[in-house]
A = this chain, B = another copy of it.
């Protein structure tokens, strides 16, 4: 995963997207709006996205949202519960994604 490179490439590609078409700036703005602010605290929004990322079978999304959970002060137990909900909802084909979630937790020194 090599953290910094992952973050750097991500940013580089996001900049390419935004420079290519205003659409990506506006998409990003309503995306931020949906996942911040409002009545549901940020912490629970990010936990929700961990569950949704497992259901969607998206490793990059899992990694991103686990880190966002940590920034939003989610506890180890809460993150593990969010992963569990994702696994229960999407069944044994999500095993590789659940294992990946635990790999991220280990790399982040949470477990």
Contact = CB atoms under 8 A, between A and B. Distances in A.
Interface string A79-104: 01110111111111111101100110
A82 B40 contact: yes
Q: How many copies does the complex hold?
A: 6
Contacts of A44: 40, 44, 47-48
Interface residues of A, number: 61
A106 interface: yes
Interface of A: 9-10, 13-14, 16-17, 20-21, 23-24, 26-27, 30-31, 33-35, 38-40, 44-45, 47-49, 51-53, 55-61, 75, 77-78, 80-82, 84-96, 98-99, 102-103, 105-106, 111
